[in-house]
Amino acid sequence: MDNRLLEVAGPPALIFMWSSAFIAGIIGVGAAPPMLVLFARFGIAGLLLIAYALIVRAVWPRGKTLGHTVVAGLLMQMVQFGAFYTAMHEHVTAAVISLMQGLSPVVMAVFAGALGESVSRTQWLGFGVGGLGVGLAVLDHHSTFSVLGLVLCVVGLLGLSLGTIYQKRFTPTVDPRAATAVHVAVSAPFAGLLAALTGSFHIADPGRFAGSMVWMVLINSMGAFLLLNTMLQRWDTTRVSRFFFAIPAVTAIMAWLVIDQPLRPLTIAGLAVGLVGMVLASRRAPAPEPATTAPERPNAVFHRIQPRRPVRV
């Protein structure tokens, strides 16, 4: 992807596609058990992504790099979505899950030092303000989810955040097309195994299941993660992570429009605070000016370069 096109169109496209995943997830989990939804999503998307990577002749990771790619994929795909989709099954709303996921920039910032990336004071302030906004909005929905639902949201948050850090640390140069294919494909057997162990193979509403699956496979598993992995390869982690502050607001609006979830005043206030945090977090500290030494006095320089005259006795 062209760098200028990525700069202009990349962030809004990522925010829209990522936000829509919560809406599609709610619809899908309402039609079938969460592990079956994930198994179908990962299985279909994995095959399509492998075919795409072969067609474009992507360079596949090998050896230890392949192992690291698998670990990053399981964290970002299986752990994240396994926890979030199960939370949806426990009646946690799409808005709450996206708001919890909005804390990912804070988690990533904590570990940014492990990648050799510096975080300025203004960025730390932005992360704090963004986290406060997320907390306000989650507080507004506290009566809609159980303790189990909250724990699942935290597990999903850690899966995304640590998976992103792990990928940036151990597989920074892997072709994003091959990496995305590996991430999704290796997660499918785990989702299938969990679906088999829980006997979760009944589809209550085939039409809604099929519609949500088409969107999740093409837009979420393929489009969003190909774009995310490309950004992670070309930009630093803190720059990419700050876009996640906008996702809760977009998700809340989409949930209001598509699945009729209400927008309450405290939620709106929390989302506004979160957006302020995103703006602050996007600001970089000015680069320090190179140190300069004070010029020497002309007389001193002249004195130093003149040869000593012999002393007459």
Full DSSP string of 145-160: S-HHHHHHHHHHHHHH
Q: Report the C-alpha dihedral over residues 264, 270, 273, 278, rounded to 10 degrees.
A: -110
Span 160-183, pLDDT tens digits: 889 988 988 899 889 989 999 999
In angstroms, the CA 163 to CA 186 distance is 14
28 pLDDT band, cuts 50/70/90, is very high
In angstroms, the CA 211 to CA 230 distance is 27
b/e string for 162-184 if b means 16 or more Cβ within 10 A? bbbbbbbeebeebbbbbbbbbbb
Mean of per-residue pLDDT scores for the chain: 81
Among the listed residues 223, 239, 201, 180, the one whose alpha carbon sits nearest the alpha carbon of residue 33:
201
H helices of the chain, in order, are: 3-31, 34-55, 63-73, 80-89, 94-101, 104-110, 121-140, 147-170, 176-198, 206-215, 225-234, 237-241, 247-258, 265-281, 298-305
Count of residues making up the chain:
313
What is the sign of the dihedral through the CA atoms of 221, 44, 259 and 137?
negative
pTM, full prediction: 0.77
Percent of the chain with pLDDT over 70: 83
In angstroms, the CA 181 to CA 173 distance is 15
Span 137-158, pLDDT tens digits: 667 665 555 778 889 989 999 9
